[in-house]
Amino acid sequence: MKRTKWIVFIAVMFIIGLVFVGCSGKKAANQEVKKVTITLGAYTVPKEAYQKEIIPAFKKMWKEKTGQDVEFKESYVASGAQSRAIVGGFEADIAALSLEDDVARLVKEKLITHDWKSKKYNGFITRSVVAMAYRPGNPKNVKTWEDLTSDKIDVIYPSPKTSGGAMWIVNAIYGAGLKMSEAKTGKQDPAYARSLLERIQKRVKVMDESGRASVTTFENGIGDILLTYENEALLRQKQGKEFPCMVPDATILIENPAAIVDKYVEKHGNREVVEAFLEFLYSKESQRSFANYGFRPVDEEIAKEFQSKYAVPPMLFDMNYIGGWDKIRDGLYGPEGIWTQIVNSLGK
């Protein structure tokens, strides 16, 4: 009898010991991971919004929720260059780029394996439009796309070979030609759209590697008109600089994507925090931050808050209007594409 009680006592103590060790192990495991890291590969333009508001807000939120500190490793370069760097081995957990085609490159290389466009707003986190920045007082009296074809105007915009922003600009010019001809004659006129693009390209003084570099060139006094994102001009105005701009009646709706890079997230083992950060970019707090730095929000409620700041141009169009990226990729930028032919013929 005594022997039986002793055996039971030992068994109970053993079970209690296992429970204690198990709980201690869980506690130790939770205490062990004090810091997680997210590597952000982004294009240059939203740098201030990320660094000044969005990343600090996410760090605070995640710390309060999990007790973990989040370290961000950040890279900001031209969208096309960033996309190619990620393909080349830069291990970004999130690619926040200027255009859908740069994300498509990552899908093609099997770095992104999920359906990134199944996220809300088709995977886009911000919007903008192509605008014209001009010198104070508008001394050249520029009002329309046709005004940019004058031999008295020097135009600045970046190179589509490296910059996603430049592709948006070329798309805007070509699409504006289609839109304006349709408004005038009732149908799109590709010949006029090509002519408009060629005549403006003749006036291009400098093509830098990125949209941000082109802004710097313009700020240094080169050129009469800078073709850029609306948000770049609004950021300069927010910084107290005299940087007037106008939005043409016919211009393109820019949509900027962000996606998790599955291959690198799986390697880093940080999917939970990376998914949380991507979701945070859609939050009202982040959308408001983007809007404060010149971007048009994708969140409808936040967009209404800023509707007086972001008027809708009367002939606004999107990528579908000009055929989508599958058509434009080759039709404008391929070896025999319209823009490629124009640049080659001009020797630029």
- Tens of pLDDT, residues 329-348: 999 999 999 999 999 999 85
Ranges in the chain, pLDDT < 70: 1-33, 348
Residue 124 has phi, psi (to 5 degrees) of -95, 140
- Strands 225-229 and 155-156, how do they pair? parallel
Residue 121 has phi, psi (to 5 degrees) of 60, 30
- What CATH class does 128-254+314-346 carry? alpha beta
pTM metric for this prediction: 0.85
| pLDDT value at residue 32 | 56
Q: How far apart are CA 3 and CA 7, in angstroms?
A: 6
| pLDDT value at residue 5 | 45
Residue 87 has phi, psi (to 5 degrees) of -60, -35
| pLDDT value at residue 228 | 94
Architecture of domain 31-126+255-305: 3-Layer(aba) Sandwich (3.40)
User: Which amino acid, 82?
Assistant: Q
| pLDDT value at residue 155 | 98
| pLDDT value at residue 165 | 85
- Strand partners for 317: 252
Residue 347 φ/ψ region, left for φ over 0, alpha for ψ in the -120 to 50 degree band, beta for the rest: left
| pLDDT value at residue 30 | 40
H-helix segments, the chain: 2-32, 47-49, 55-66, 79-87, 100-108, 164-185, 190-201, 211-219, 230-238, 262-268, 271-281, 284-292, 300-305, 324-331, 338-346
Domain boundaries defined on the chain:
31-126+255-305, 128-254+314-346
Asked if 31-126+255-305 and 128-254+314-346 have one fold, the answer is yes
For the segment 135-175, what is each residue's pLDDT rounded down to a tens digit?
999 999 999 999 999 999 999 999 998 888 899 999 999 99
